[in-house]
């Protein structure tokens, strides 16, 4: 058994050469000359690109035993590498067209070798530049509905489902989500991160009993509702795109939780970019055109997600008692109300919590950035406290448009 150590670029090359020599990876030719460099810019991991002389490449990703964004003072389990690899394998078996492919996994070294998606763009960076991807909503809805349904009680036997819940138990990374999403923003905490100019807005959030109740309800469902195998970190930095392709990466926060969490997280990131464009695109016509595209993306994702789930329940459920039309509609209504709430929680925690987004933090004008932050806090608050009144898509979008106009 190999003893864990953190890789550098030379280690990454040597490891891939070892795999090639021993038949563990047939991606490169045996005589290939390999080079590597580390380019990870995330919070938790080392990420290397390993190339040959013909520009064929793979990604080697290794978990660190601490949060990279903080340092060794915040230790983390290496088991998250197993969770990530196994979620990708599970989701890839269901939805290969939208899931990054795992080529190799080593549990002792907490590393995964993945297909290189470098020919695609990361959705967050592309949306910051106001680029449009007309298929991303349909692709995300397909990925979330199919991976959600085929890991749910509608499809799995009770015994199989419970075994998977145990397999994907992820308490340490779930604790991060539980704290950063549902606890820290509503109390005084050293992890929170916001400018002093937002202090009045933050105090209003901490004193809002209806909002704190909504956050508690969302947290309680996150803690105790293992509906399906979630990606767990479904933000626009975990999505690679071009005009025809969408691929999902980085599910190391994966676990069995409420179906609405992933789609809510995705919608929240669409709205973070929508608000950020108020300070990024100065020409009104161009800004309105792009923001309309974003709202169309959000609406299409919501609508298609619901339609695909209902179709899967109707035609592919293995539990007749759950597949009745009345229960299917009730179930999806609850899921989408959850999604609206989680969407709002994403807006708030990305504004005043530990982990921000470049869409907003990259705005150079401090006053314009502050105005965007104030908007995201108000929007998040209203979505959370009014989520229960969104009984259908028309209710949700009427609420959303009233808040954005």
pLDDT(82) > 60: yes
- Tens of pLDDT, residue by residue over 288-347, are 999 999 999 999 999 999 999 999 999 999 999 999 999 999 999 999 999 999 999 999
Among the listed residues 106, 113, 116, 46, the one whose alpha carbon sits nearest the alpha carbon of residue 82:
106
**Measured distance between the N- and C-terminal CA atoms of the chain, rounded to whole angstroms:** 59
Distance CA 2, CA 14 (A): 14
pLDDT exceeds cutoff 80 at 54 = yes
pLDDT in tens, 166-220: 999 999 999 999 999 999 999 999 999 999 999 999 999 999 999 999 999 999 9
Mean pLDDT of 50-75: 88
pTM: 0.96
Q: What's residue 229's pLDDT? A: 99
The encoded tokens of residue 77 equal 């389990």
Helices 260-280 and 284-316 pack at an angle, to 10 degrees, of 170
Look up residue 251 and give its two tokens.
């599910």
Average pLDDT over residues 103-107: 97
Burial 328-345 (b: 16+ CB within 10 A, else e): beebbebbbbbbbbbbbb
| 205 touches 348 (CB < 8 A) | yes
Distance of CA 369 to the CA centre of its chain: 24
Residue indicated by tokens 């809510």: 264
List, by residue range, all CATH 3.30.200.20 domains of the chain. Answer: 9-115
pLDDT score, position 69 = 64
DSSP annotation of 122 reads E
148-157 pLDDT, tens digit per residue, is 999 999 999 9
Tens of pLDDT, residue by residue over 232-279, are: 999 999 999 999 999 999 999 999 999 999 999 999 999 999 999 999
Distance (Å, whole) CA 403 – CA 405: 6
Distance between CA atoms of residues 353 and 374, nearest Å: 14
Under the banding of pLDDT at 50, 70 and 90, the label for residue 71 is: low
* pLDDT reading at 42 higher than 70: no
Q: Which of 68, 88, 386, 107 is nearest to 232 (CA)?
A: 88
Arithmetic mean of pLDDT, 83-94: 98
User: Is 2 a residue whose pLDDT tops 80?
Assistant: no
Lowest-confidence pick of 2-16, 58-72, 133-147, 383-397: 58-72
Q: Whose CA is closest to 357, among 25, 124, 85?
A: 124
* Distance between CA atoms of residues 84 and 78, nearest Å: 11
Domain 9-115: assigned CATH number? 3.30.200.20
> Residues of CATH 3.90.1200.10 domain(s) within the chain?
121-404
Q: Which parts of 353-392 fold into alpha helices (H)?
A: 358-361, 366-386
pLDDT reading at 361 higher than 90: yes
Q: 367 pLDDT exceeds 60? A: yes
Q: Are strands 102-106 and 71-75 parallel, antiparallel or unpaired?
A: unpaired
Topology annotation, domain 121-404: Aminoglycoside 3'-phosphotransferase; Chain: A, domain 2 (3.90.1200)
């Amino acid at each position: 058994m190999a003893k864990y150590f953190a890789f550098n670029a030379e280690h990454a090359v040597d490891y891939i050469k070892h795999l090639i020599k021993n038949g563990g990876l047939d991606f490169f030719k045996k005589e290939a000359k390999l080079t590597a460099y580390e380019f990870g810019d995330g919070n938790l991991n080392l990420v290397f690109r390993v190339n040959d002389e013909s520009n064929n490449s793979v990604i080697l990703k290794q978990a660190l035993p601490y949060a990279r964004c903080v340092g060794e003072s915040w230790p983390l389990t290496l088991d998250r590498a197993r969770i990530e690899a196994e979620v990708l394998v599970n989701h890839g078996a269901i939805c290969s067209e939208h899931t990054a492919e795992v080529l190799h996994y080593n549990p002792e070294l907490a590393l995964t070798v993945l297909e290189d998606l470098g020919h695609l763009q990361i959705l967050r960076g592309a949306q910051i530049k106001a680029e449009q991807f007309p298929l991303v909503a349909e692709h995300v809805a397909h990925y979330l509905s199919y991976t959600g349904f085929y890991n749910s009680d509608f499809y799995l036997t009770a015994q199989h489902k419970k075994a998977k819940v145990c397999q994907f138990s992820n308490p340490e990374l779930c604790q991060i989500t539980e704290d950063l999403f549902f606890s820290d923003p509503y109390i005084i905490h050293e992890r929170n991160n916001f400018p002093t100019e937002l202090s009045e807005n933050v105090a209003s959030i901490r004193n809002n009993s209806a909002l704190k109740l909504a956050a508690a309800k969302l947290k309680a469902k996150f803690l105790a509702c293992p509906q399906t195998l979630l990606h767990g970190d479904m933000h626009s930095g975990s999505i690679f795109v071009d005009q025809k392709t969408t691929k999902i990466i980085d599910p190391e926060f994966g676990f069995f939780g409420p179906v609405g969490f992933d789609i809510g997280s995705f919608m929240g990131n669409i709205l973070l970019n929508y608000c950020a464009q108020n300070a990024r695109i100065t020409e009104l016509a161009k800004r309105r055109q792009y923001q309309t595209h974003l709202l169309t993306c959000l609406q299409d994702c919501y609508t298609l997600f619901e339609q695909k789930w209902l179709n899967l329940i109707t035609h592919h459920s293995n539990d007749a008692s759950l597949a009745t039309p009345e229960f299917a509609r009730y179930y999806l209504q609850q899921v989408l109300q959850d999604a609206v709430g989680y969407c709002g929680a994403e807006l708030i925690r990305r504004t005043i919590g530990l982990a921000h987004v470049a869409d907003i933090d990259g705005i150079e004008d401090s006053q314009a950035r502050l105005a965007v932050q104030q908007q995201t806090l108000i929007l998040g608050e209203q979505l959370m406290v009014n989520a229960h009144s969104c009984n259908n898509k028309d209710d949700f979008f009427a609420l959303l448009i009233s808040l954005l106009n």
